[in-house]
Each structure stands twice: as C-alpha cells, then as structure tokens.
Chains A and B, each alone.
Chain A
Amino acid sequence: MNKTTCKSWRRAAAVGATLGALALPLAAAAADAPVKIGTVLSLSGPAAVFGLPERDAINVVAKKLGFKSPGGRPFELVLHDDKSNPTEAARAVTQVINNDKVVVVVGPSTGSGILAAGPIASRLKVPLIAPAGTMAVGDRKNEFWPWVFRMAINDATSIEFILKDMAKSKAKKVGVLYQEDAYGKTGVDLAKEIAPKLGLEVVETVSAPYSATDLTAQATRLRNAGVDTVFLQVSIAALGTSFLKAARQIGLDKPIYANAGLAQRSFAENVGPEADGLRTLSIGNLPFEPIAEEKELSDLLKADGKVPQGWGEIVGANGLLAALAAIDAQAGKEITGESMRTALEGLCGFRSYARGKICYSPDNHDGWDGSSLTIVEIRDKKMRTLD
C-alpha cells in the first residue's frame, strides 16, 4: 500500500481548495458594477426544478433591460447555487453579502434555505426576496422577519384556493398524500385546518419519503378510506408521477388535485395518460396559456432559447423586478441593504410579469395575494387554465 501517494493527493487537493477559496474574493474585488444584486438559487439538488427556471428568467429579464433598471441604474447579478441545501444557502448568502457586497438577494429558492439564511440577512442588514410559499418564512415571530420579502403565494392562501375548487365539485371526504418534509407536513396541517370551513373533511392522510418508488400502498389506503377526492401536497415530480400510476393501478378513480409543485411543463408532458384530469394550482400558466404579461416573459425566454417551464420563471423574474423597482425608488441616493429594505416596504403595483398585484408594506411582507393564482388541468400533455 502506498500511503504516501494517497497523502500527497490529499495534500494537493487541500492546496487546490485553498487557492480556489483565495481566488474568490480577488475576483469579487475586480468587479465594479454600481449596484449588485445577489441571486442565491437552487441550481442543483431536488429544488433545481424551481431554481433553474428562476435563474433563466432572471437572466433573460436582465439581458432585456441591458443590465440597467427601468430607471436607468446599472446593476450586476451575482449568482450562487445553494445546491438545495440550507447550510449551503446560508453560506452563499453570507458570501454574496460580505464578499460581493450585494444590497439585496433574490433567494434562496427553498423555504428551508430562506429560514437558514434569514438570520444572516438580518445580521448583515440586507433583505432577501424569497421565492417560496413556506408559511414559516413569513412568520412575524422570526427576528429576521423585517428582512424577508416573499415573492410567492403563502401556503395557507394556496391550499385554501385548492380546497375551494374541490368544494365546488361537491366532494366531502378528502384524502391527502404528502411528502415527508416541512413542506408536506405544513400542507397537510393547513388542509386539516381549512377544510372544515369549506364543508370538507380530511378523512385520511398518507405520506411518502422522497425515495419512494412505489406508492400503491399509500393509494390503497386512500381508496379504502372511501375518499371523494385526493390532494397531493408534493413538490417532487417523481412522487406525483408514482402516485398517479399507483392510483390507476389500484383503481382509485377519484378527482386528484395537486399543489403548485407539479404545475410544470415537464411534468405535464412526461407523465402520460395517468395525468389527464389532474388539477394543479399554479401562479399563472406561463408554458401553455399565458396572459399578456406572462406572454411577454414567455417570449423573452423563447427568444433566449429557453422553454418556459412554469411559475418558477414568474417568481424569479418578479423577484428581480421588485429589486429593480426598489433601486429606482432611491434615485440619486446611496443604496445600502437597509435603504433597499425601506424601499421594498414602499413598493406596490410595480411593473411585473404576473396576473396579480404585488404590494409590500411595513406590515405586509407577503406581497402577493391569491389574485395571481389559477387552477390548471392537465389534459393531453398540456396545462389548461380553468375559469
């Protein structure tokens, strides 16, 4: 055994890593854009399904604007991958603020990433524009609440929207499948809380880990509970696919609804006939039936060679537009993280690529209400917007 060679490899790797780490601040010091906007998004890992469209939209909007805000202020984007990992999200936010000197951060992409990065943003006094619906992100009990501005619909609003559509169909007994994480658990708890107010009852809940390759047992349990309709609180497309196949296999022939995680072009196009009739919540319908504001964004993406995927592009693009609107609100002034926070709290009805109006205030950091939401139905590999 040649341990020396092994050690020398390790030593070389350590030296390489150190040199790499040293190179980062040097590269940042060379940059000279007047206003720097950080984008910390999930470009790899499970949440890349949202992070990649967010990044694409931010890039095409920035290019279209010529890297100048609508008011003419030049800006620069500093992009980091949080790897769908809260620890990495916190580290990346620290880096873009301390090393790259950004005055606002769009991201991180996931609720857990935002919760991890929030205390850092608060300590370093730089606001986060958060593209996630996780309720805890907008909890006013968080010490970092003043520094987090949501650029998505909160989960309570989303789930109420879905349950209202269910209630229209005369369904009474609801079964819920949720993924085993904070997103899934919060969703099922909210569904149980909201359902009775709409004349519904959650009669059975089942869960599945990310790794599940077969959900026939879960589907069987919902079928045996005699549910009238099923709600999927999942964001992992493979789980949604697996459940739809399982439901078909075991004869669970009931209307199925899903939260916005499955409102993706790739999901609609790849699942097959099992997805026909699936209703999912979505922020707009960018890939298939965009309204005028969304179509503009869709065209920008297509012109850049991208295929619009879903609402990820909408929250990403509007996150950047919110940051730029806040910059323009401070024309002629020195811009800091603190001044960005104050400016964001005064934003309302700025130009956006969405069907709803986005308004922040000192008491409201959620921004969007339910007016931007829609229910889409998957049919023939397309998402059709329902009235």
Chain B
Amino acid sequence: MKRTRRSGFSLVEVLIALTILGLLTINIAMVSRTGSQAAESDLFRQLLDTEMDLTLDRIKLALMSASADNVYPQVPAPASESHIDFSTSLGVQGGVHVMGDPERIQWTPATAEKGGVFWTQSLGLPDERQIQWSRNVPILQNLETANERDDNDNGLVDEPGLSLHVEHAEDRELQVFVNLTVSKTDSRGQVVPRSRQVNITCRN
C-alpha cells in the first residue's frame, strides 16, 4: 500500500513566515510614513508658494501699469506700508492719457495673527469692487518682531506681512518693492512661512 503525501505548511513555518512578514511590513510602514510626511510637507510648501506667487504676480501686473504720479504713499526704506493706492493707464483717447479708477492693494487683518491681501477698485464709491488675493498673510514678515529693529536683515524695520516701499531710480522711474510672507499651520501643528520680495517698475 502506498503512503499519500499531504501538502501544506507546518505551524512553525507559518509562524516564522508571519514574523518575517510582520517585520517587513513594519519597516515598509516606517519608510512610507516618513516619505509621505515629507511629500505632505513638500506639497504643503508648494501650495503656499503657489499662493504667494499668484498673489505677487497679481500685484506685479497691477502696479506695472500704474502711473508713478498717482502712487501713494511713496514710503522709502527702512519704513514701509501695508497698503498702496494707485491708478493704472487705460491708454490714450483723443490725445489725452486716460487713467482708470483708483485702486488699492492692502493687507486687512482677519484674526489676531494674520489677515489677507485685498485688491479694491473705487474704494468707498458705489461701484466698489473687492477681490481677496491671499488669506494667509501674517501681521509681520517672517523672522521680524515689533522692536524697531531690522531683525531679518532686509533693510526694513518692523515691516508688515505685506510690505511696500519705494525707490526712485536714477532716471526717476518709480520702483515699488513688495515683500510678502504667507504662512500656514500644517497637520503637525508647525507654522510654515514662505517669503519673497519682488521689485516692480511703474511703467507710466
């Protein structure tokens, strides 16, 4: 009589396999967790950068067409302001240079710690229009504290999260310097700030 062979795994083999699988799974989980945290932070920074770049692009396009004579206030460094009033050129009609309705870019507080950047046209008038360009702008620039000192070595003192100051170039062109900080708290409770400065020449 022939003996039949039974297939399968013994208990010891299964236990060893499960142990090895468990260790592998823990390792994979740790690596993927670190990777996903890094990806999440990176994505978080990218989104903040996108918000900052979009806001700065809008400020740039608005101020490029502004007339230097209509920009107010014209505050030179180390002081700065968190708003700017201007008018942009609509072209020439009948030989006369036509300027658009007055516009304003300003930082408006929303909470005790941060606010938003708003663009307003015809401020205070019946046809006033307002668009919010950013909502995560803190009260002060990154690394700056209100102590009448230039803490972040950028030539400005106690500058706000949206700070604007001007310089007259050698040929008398008006240059507006915009410093913008956006910041948000990530899932781990850390505040992530992103800052950039752009320099815009008023073409009119």
**Do the two shown chains form a genuine complex with each other?**
no
Q: Which residues of A contact B (CB under 8 A)?
A: none
